[in-house]
Amino acid sequence: MHADTIAALSSGALPSGVAVVRVSGPDARSALERLCGSVPPERRASLRAFRDAAGGPIDRGIAIFFPGPETVTGEDVAEFHLHGGRAVVAACLEAITTSVGTRLAEAGEFTRRAFENGRIDLTEAEGLADLIAAETEGQHRAAVLQANGTLRKLYEGWMQRLTEARARLEASFDFADEGDVGEDVADRLTADVAGLVSEIRAHLVRADRGEILRSGFKVAIVGAPNAGKSSLLNALADREVAIVTEVPGTTRDVIEATLDLGGIPVRFSDTAGIRETSDKVEAIGVERAREVMAKADLVLALVDTQHGHGPLARFTELLSHVKHPMLLAADASHQDLVEGTAKGRRRILTVRTKADRPAPSGLVARFGNEWNDFRFDFAISAKTGEGLDALTDRIAELAAAAAGTEGGGTSEAIPLRTRQRDLLNETLRILEEFVGNSTLPAEIGAETLRRAADTLGRLTGKVGIEDLLDVIFSEFCIGK
């Protein structure tokens, strides 16, 4: 328990309709006494006149007292709900912090106290940070499941099982000299741990989806210079994000815009038109375009067919830079490469641009001699808007498939953060070592299980993570 009391504005930017000032710590009660004249009845919203130390009026508002330890921080908590003016809030905080033991809170300090007082674990703290940062429905849904302790329960269950397994193994030390007793125990133990291994593995597969919810489904817009890439980005974003001119080679850097498509953040990157160039700046842009393409979850390959076959030859060259396993497979068929399958494996959509203009070759064009007749997935016009809805619908579908939220989303908790996934991977690696090595002496086996449990403990914050706490809690805003 902390000796000092912290106070902060916990609601959003001022001015606002109503502002909430929270106080947590041993002096929370006295703050109410000083500002309201008396402590209002516990856990009840009470209308009071707030006054400063000199008796000057601050505001008339609602005050609440939550006695610890059954509170959000685990300490006594006081709340002042004021009118959201800057001077009103400043006067209230000033009056609260005149008490010697009370100071302004640092970013994340309320949540940190909740963690330190055992009210929440680290996954819940991280879930709260993600909940506050959530901008799309998908992010919201995943963060709620972390913030409300769903992940915590899962990991605590796993830790419990590891502890039990270790206890059984350690108990078997005593029988080690008596022949087959130890062996029998070891077999059952290995089977139990193997069960855990497959659960952690399945959980980690879902983690990739968490990553998409957190950082977005990445879509690279690529094509030859002048194909209409920047025009597409602008049309999708509905604003002039990128410069558009008739000069090929206009875009040199990567330009991003994020759209919320069906609850998933979709990050579109407009890139430099890919071509050989002696222009130094453009060459760097082309290199960046290739990098963006290689990292994308989905590539939109744009072709302006109005000049006939020339751009299509470059298009073939361009696709060779998409480093998707499906494309690298030597025996991948045209079907695999471009049409793919509907189940989220499809990574490229081919798009004919400037569909408002007549194309000499029509929708079906020859595509070099390696591949057969080529049919574009979409024909669009950034100018008239033709085809854009169909294209965004398809992208939304693919993003939902990648994030695992198709059909209304998942109720399963998934780890959203790299920190969490790294620790889970580490735990998995240690447990695989245990399972794959049935001849390990019991002492070493028990030590291996202990290391795995410790790694899981770092996930929930049960085990030595001092170094990490500052990093995690500093992401919060003041007042949280």
Ligand X SMILES: Nc1nc2c(ncn2[C@@H]2O[C@H](COP(=O)(O)OP(=O)(O)OP(=O)(O)O)[C@@H](O)[C@H]2O)c(=O)[nH]1
Residues that bind ligand X (CB under 6 A): 223, 225-231, 244-246, 248-251, 272-273, 353-354, 356-357, 381-383
86 is in an annotated binding site: no
Residue with tokens 């139990």: 192
| Nearer CB in complex with ligand FFO: 23/365 | 23
Residue 163 bridge partners (DSSP): none
Nearest-angstrom CA–CA distance, 321 and 219: 15
Question: What are 9's strand-pairing partners?
Answer: 21
Alpha carbons 273 and 385: distance in angstroms, whole number: 22
Query: Which positions from 210 through 249 interact with Mg ion, judged by CB under 5 A?
Result: 229-230
Q: Is 251 annotated as a binding residue?
A: yes
**Using the rule CB under 6 A, which residue among 5, 24, 30, 71 binds ligand FFO?**
71
Rounded to 5 degrees, what angle do the CA atoms 203, 400, 475 make?
A: 65
- 226 contact choice in Mg ion, ligand FFO, ligand X, none (CB below 5 to 8 Å, kind-dependent): ligand X
Write down the H helix ranges in 101-228: 109-116, 122-133, 137-147, 150-173, 180-215
Identify the residue among 14, 39, 62, 72 touching ligand FFO (CB under 6 A).
Answer: 72
Amino acid at 64: I
315 touching ligand FFO, by CB under 6 A? no
Residue 271 labeled ligand binder: yes
- Picked from ligand X, Mg ion, ligand FFO, none, the partner binding residue 70 (CB below 5 to 8 A depending on kind) is ligand FFO
Asked whether position 111 contacts Mg ion by CB under 5 A, the answer is no
429 assigned binding-site residue: no
Of residues 180-209, those binding Mg ion (CB under 5 A): none
Q: Which is nearer to ligand FFO, 20 or 129 (CB)?
A: 20
In whole angstroms, the minimum distance from the beta carbon of 216 to ligand X comes to 21
Establish whether the linkage from the previous residue to 15 is cis, with ω within 30° of 0: yes
* CA dist., res. 342 & res. 159, Å (int): 38
Does 405 participate in binding ligand FFO (rule CB under 6 A)?
no
Instruction: State how far the alpha carbon of 59 is from the alpha carbons of 65, 69, 81, 225, in Å.
Output: 18, 29, 10, 62
Cis amide bond preceding 40, omega within 30: no
Q: Is 246 marked as a binding-site residue?
A: yes
HSE of 218, CA atoms in CB hemisphere, 13 A? 16
Give the residue, chosen from 3, 55, 70, 439, that forms a contact with ligand FFO under the rule CB under 6 A.
70
Cα radius of gyration (the chain): 29
CA pseudo-torsion sign 174, 180, 185, 186: positive
**CB distance 75 to 436 below 8 Å:** no
Q: Which of 7, 8, 9, 20 binds ligand FFO (CB under 6 A)?
A: 20
230 is in an annotated binding site: yes
Judge whether 229 is annotated as a binding position. Answer: yes
Could you say which of 66, 80, 217, 476 contacts ligand FFO (CB under 6 A)?
66
Binding positions for (6S)-5-formyl-5,6,7,8-tetrahydrofolate: 22, 79, 119, 480
Binding site for Mg ion (CB under 5 A): 229-230, 250-251
Binding site for ligand FFO (CB under 6 A): 20, 22, 66, 70-72, 79
Binding positions for GTP: 226-231, 245-251, 270-273
